[in-house]
Amino acid sequence: MDKDLNYYHLIHQKIASLLLYQSVLEDEIGKAFLEILDLIYFRNQEQIDIDCLKAYGLWVKSFASQGISWQDYIIRKILVDDNPFSQQVQHNSLENLPQPLIEAAEQDLSILNTLYNLPLEAISQWVKEAANLPFSPFIAQYKNKDNTFLHQTDHWKNCLPELAAHYRQHGTGIFAQYKAFKWHNNKLIGISQADTITLSEIVGYESQKETLIKNTEILLSGYSALNILLYGSRGAGKSSLVKSLLNQYSCQGLRLIEVNKSQLSNLPMIVDQLRNIAQKFIIFVDDLSFEEDNDAFKALKVVLEGNVTAKAKNVVVYATSNRRHLIREYFDDRPRPKDADEIHNWDTVQEKLSFSDRFGLTLTFQPANQDTYLQIVHHLASQINLKIDKDELEFKAKQWATKHNGRSGRTARQFIDFIQGELAIKNYKI
């Protein structure tokens, strides 16, 4: 046991000597593991024995909640860790990084490699003896789910080139863990269940889709992409088209941040947080319009046109709207001869009317005619292999559009979802 405790003490010392990857063990699983290390030395004290068992139980429970192995846990934490090495290597090659930073990363990887190879049976045995148990505690052994390069080598300090390439492609921290975000309480919150819609599901507006894709690829290539306003009838698929870009290009470093109209005054703050991140970002504003020339209008204008601060080349704004002129204009706004309050009143009106021109591109989505509507219906039906006669499908689709929300991509999707469920219930009863 003394030999085991000496080895355990050595493990504890190595963890304490981590220089860059200290946060790897800062979550629930890591903290429970560290608590086991702390308590295992205190023996012959009944309360300490119980606390050691509780810490081990929490550790096992944490594995059970995530269903991952100890090895997968260590690797996943390394691959998303946000530290000076993982940050700088996204912008610089390994050859251009300071040598002390590289050596610190190599040391930490060697330590974490030791933790990776730590036999769980030995931990169970140590807990048994430290807590004076007559039996060995349950061993939380799960099969490895991941198959990364770190699983495939025995010497992690030699994996810096592969690790650097991973950080460049996937990012670090919250940007490695999530691909979609929302702005809440002045910070970015990851969205764990992002919309799964794909580009292949959207038909009927091919030229608009092609332009949006091309502009997004320009952004991903590191060149100056344009901010885009997607304007047109409701239900045309404007929002779905923007969200589908994420599922197409997230593996190339694209991220999407959803900002609602009430948060537009925070846009300059959001952009400042993103400008030095290696990933590329779409700030998505859905159903954009303004009631008046307010702070939100001014904030969006700054982001679209820039100010003294340089524009962020890794950020674009994609906004959707049912209105061509984003700021509501009333008849009372228009100048009349009797109005002498403002000499250049027409200039104010024109500024409001031309706000949409500040977007580099405006993509127009016309209402779907019957042919386009039926094209979308057939496309969605084919994607799920819907078993229904073509003529019957078209007849029911026309009826649905007449009784409900008119012809649009949204209506087509709602119809297909309903008819799929209806047919499933009918077949189940048979």
Cβ neighbour number for residue 139 with a 10 Å cutoff: 13
pLDDT the model gives residue 25: 92
pLDDT the model gives residue 147: 78
DSSP E strands, 165-252: 180-184, 187-190, 228-232
Asked if residue 350 has pLDDT above 50, the reply is no
pLDDT the model gives residue 323: 64
Q: Residue 256 belongs to what H/E stretch?
A: strand 254-258
Asked if residue 347 has pLDDT above 70, the reply is no
Greater model confidence, 37 or 294: 37
Nearest to 386 by CA among 422, 347, 333: 422
Class of domain 180-365: alpha beta
| CB burial of residue 106 (10 Å; 0-12, 13-18, 19+) | middle
pLDDT the model gives residue 336: 54
Pair 334, 344: CB distance under 8 Å:
no
Asked if residue 153 has pLDDT above 90, the reply is no
Q: How far is CA 112 from the centre of its chain?
A: 27
DSSP E strands, 286-321: 315-321
Question: Both tokens of residue 243?
Answer: 């969200």
pLDDT the model gives residue 18: 95
Nearest to 286 by CA among 221, 231, 365: 231
Greater model confidence, 310 or 84: 84
- Over residues 400-429, mean pLDDT: 85
Asked if residue 46 has pLDDT above 60, the reply is no
Q: How does residue 291 score in pLDDT terms, banded at 50, 70 and 90?
A: low
Pair 251, 169: CB distance under 8 Å:
yes
pLDDT the model gives residue 3: 52
- Over residues 378-391, mean pLDDT: 89
Q: What count of residues does the chain have?
A: 430
Asked if residue 20 has pLDDT above 90, the reply is yes
Asked if residue 82 has pLDDT above 70, the reply is yes
Question: Both tokens of residue 386?
Answer: 């819907």
- Over residues 41-64, mean pLDDT: 74
Q: What is the pLDDT of residues 326-345, one digit of tens each?
A: 555 444 555 555 554 544 44
Beta-carbon contacts of residue 298 (< 8 Å; ≥ 6 apart): none
pLDDT the model gives residue 261: 81
pLDDT the model gives residue 345: 47
Greater model confidence, 300 or 355: 300
Quote the mean pLDDT of the chain.
83
Which amino acid is located at 2 in the chain? D
Pair 362, 228: CB distance under 8 Å:
yes
- In the chain, % of residues over pLDDT 70: 84
Pair 257, 232: CB distance under 8 Å:
no
Which amino acid is located at 284 in the chain? F
For the entire predicted model, the pTM comes to 0.81
Q: What is the pLDDT of residues 234-243, one digit of tens each?
A: 888 899 999 9
pLDDT the model gives residue 344: 43
pLDDT the model gives residue 331: 45
Q: What is the pLDDT of residues 161-209, one digit of tens each?
A: 999 999 998 999 999 999 999 999 889 999 998 988 999 888 888 899 9
d(CA 29, CA 294): 47
d(CA 129, CA 315): 56
Q: Residue 106 belongs to what H/E stretch?
A: helix 99-116
Q: How does residue 5 score in pLDDT terms, banded at 50, 70 and 90?
A: low
Pair 376, 410: CB distance under 8 Å:
no
Greater model confidence, 373 or 309: 373
pLDDT the model gives residue 325: 53
- Over residues 39-66, mean pLDDT: 75
d(CA 235, CA 231): 11
Q: What is the three-class DSSP state of 352?
A: helix
d(CA 286, CA 208): 17
Helix axes 206-220, 238-249, angle to 10 degrees: 40
pLDDT the model gives residue 348: 46
Strands 180-184 and 187-190: antiparallel
Q: How far is CA 207 from CA 63, 227, 234, 352, 364, in A?
A: 49, 17, 18, 28, 10
